Structure 1
Amino acid sequence: MANTPQAKKRIRRNANRAAINGARVSRIRTFIKAVESAIAAGKKDEARDALKQAQPEMARGVARGVIHKNTASRKFSRLTKRVASLG
């Protein structure tokens, strides 16, 4: 257990940051799921709009440090390819 005041403060701060970061990751996943559900339904316009909303959200996650740059790039690339393949 933490003995010093700064260690106790760090525990409080880490818990708070974990909650904030978890919410950010969850928000990104929600946007990605919106794109995937539109793709599954075969709605190209809806999928394209959802992708336009998901891309800045992923970029924001990278900027905040909750997801890795390459992870966001890979996900965006794969989603873009799947949306483009919709006839």
Structure 2
Amino acid sequence: MATGWAGDGAVQDQIDATVKDAIKRARSKLPKGPSLEHCEECDAPIPEARRRALPGVRLCVPCQEAADKVSAGSGYNRRGSKDSQLR
């Protein structure tokens, strides 16, 4: 497939680089270090299985779910679907 001055596979190389950057950014946001034995919000014990599965965990499951609900959903449609553009 002709792509002008770009070499063969240049588009795929760009996609691969973008994906690798996104993975690196997501991994850098994961908690690190020792996990807490008790939730820093409600002081409930954090199960050992959770502490082993998620190094650096600081919240129990209910508090983490509450924190995720607060930080999720900005109400902005980032997909830019055709339906949202017609409204």
Give TM-score, length-normalised by structure 2: 0.32
Give TM-score, length-normalised by structure 1: 0.32
Greater per-residue helix proportion = 1
Between Structure 1 and Structure 2, whose CA radius of gyration is higher? 2
Which structure ranks higher in relative contact order (CA pairs < 8 Å, sequence separation ≥ 6)? 1
